Amino acid sequence: MMNFWDDLPRPFLALAPMEDVTDVVFRRVVARAGRPDVFFTEFTNTASFCSEQGEFSTRGRLTFEKEENPIVAQIWGNNPENFAEMARALAAKGFAGVDINMGCPDKKVVKSGGGSALIQTPELVTEIVAATHEGWNEGSNEATPTPAGKAGLAPNRQTVADEASRGGHGLAGGMSGLLGEKATPISIKTRLGYSKVEEWRSWLTCLLEQNLANLTVHLRTKKEMSKVPAHFELIPEIVRLRDQIAPRTKLTINGDIRDRAHAMELWREHPGIDGFMIGRGVFANPFCFTEHENPTRDELFDLLNYHLDLFDKYNVTTLGSEPGQSRQSITVTTRTNEETRDDGLDERTVAGGLASDPLPRKFEPLKRFFKIYVKDFPGAAELRIKLFECKDSDEVRKVLSSAR
């Protein structure tokens, strides 16, 4: 069973999945500045993916380029059948792994029973993880051996869920004895608990019994949101718990990780950690995955121009035009790997499948990124005001050019 998590350096760095932020455009911007070891998509609703509209309705969230691998699709919901179906599709279509969101504190997500709401339903969690394992194995066409002489047959989902729910450490942490020594690339991102920090031990124990390839722990509770400092003081105990229950599961720490230097500092203090996930740190410095802590204004302007170019590239209303030329909408047909493109674009992947359909992108949401690049120099605030008044990417380019 191929599992990219086993091939990552220690410590590895990952870009956190962030709603309306970490789409294919921004991930490629980060890769230009200095790529992390692992990318994650924005989180995608399993119910939406499995609906009548299916992949069409979620394709923008699941678009990725081949060079982004390893890239993990983060998904959320509360229906095990949907998780199985979606994992099956994602495995068959090129993603390196699937990450289950069990930490999002958004009110709508929680009200629907997904994200951090799952912290309160451990039995459902066991069913969801078992279904996701099963779906992934089916999609990748790789059977997982069982210890009972049934080589080549994946265990029945209910059998796995029942065994995992018993938490039998004699099975190396519940599911691992059934699914073999090497986990499928299924991971979870979660928080310490729902309301109280003290929930962390029982909650993480439940997750560590699910034969995960990786467990990412945001060091705050759902209730705390991001209003308090991350609980770094709990790292030693969390590492010990992982080592006791599931030593093969990678442990990633998230929450207030500023940059690569900060991650390395924490790792030297806590060498049992396998990786670090950076979220808001990328807004402070898009070069945060490198040792480049103080990018110049010109470097940030160049990166913003690259962001604009990618925005146009993936926008159906701007294809076929060079910066400065009038925009036009064009129709692009799907091609095979061997066929060439005449529109200057390379092949991209939608939900893992080769496709060439760009998506209409609104310009206004792009403005939220300007503060990443235009800050900390005299006149930055005034320049941002001018940029916010722009109507399209070409106007932004002109304003930037005049500001150099």
Q: What is the pLDDT of residue 340?
A: 28
Q: Is the pLDDT of residue 90 over 90?
A: yes
Residues whose CB falls within 8 Å of the CB of residue 186, separated by 6 or more in sequence, listed in order = 87, 97, 98, 99, 100, 129, 132, 133, 136, 211, 212, 213
Residues above pLDDT 90, as percent of the chain: 72
Q: What is the pLDDT of residue 361?
A: 83
Q: What is the pLDDT of residue 194?
A: 97
Q: Is the pLDDT of residue 130 over 70?
A: yes
Q: Is the pLDDT of residue 151 over 70?
A: no
Q: What is the pLDDT of residue 149?
A: 31
Omega before 229 cis (within 30°)? no
27-36, 88-97, 134-143, 307-316: the lowest-pLDDT one: 134-143
Tell me yes or no: is domain 4-284 CATH 3.20.20.70. Answer: yes
Q: What is the pLDDT of residue 157?
A: 47
**C-alpha torsion sign, points 216, 246, 223, 41:** positive
Omega before 271 cis (within 30°)? no
Helix (H, G, I), strand (E, B) or coil at 102: strand
Tell me how crowded residue 122 is: count the other CB atoms within 10 A of its CB.
16
The token duo for 301 is 């302007």
Structural domain spans, the chain: 4-284, 297-403
- Decide: pTM greater than 0.75: yes
Q: What is the pLDDT of residue 53?
A: 76
146 or 367, which is more confident: 367
Q: What is the pLDDT of residue 183?
A: 61
* For residues 94-116, average pLDDT: 96
Distance CA 184, CA 191 (A): 22
Beta bridge partners of 214: 187, 250
* For residues 328-337, average pLDDT: 29
Hunting for tokens 């039995």 — which residue is that?
123
Distance CA 279, CA 259 (A): 9
* For residues 130-144, average pLDDT: 83
pLDDT band of 93, cuts 50, 70, 90: confident
Q: What is the pLDDT of residue 259?
A: 98
pLDDT band of 347, cuts 50, 70, 90: very low
Query: Is 390 annotated in the active site?
Result: no
Distance CA 379, CA 357 (A): 40
Q: What is the pLDDT of residue 350?
A: 44
pLDDT band of 105, cuts 50, 70, 90: very high
Q: What is the pLDDT of residue 349?
A: 44
Per-position b or e across 346-375, b if 16+ CB within 10 A of its CB:
ebbbbbbeebbebeebebeebeebbebbbe
- Out of 50, 104, 206, 288, the active site residue is 104
92-101, 245-254, 288-297, 329-338: the lowest-pLDDT one: 329-338
What φ, ψ does residue 302 adopt, rounded to 5°? -60, -40
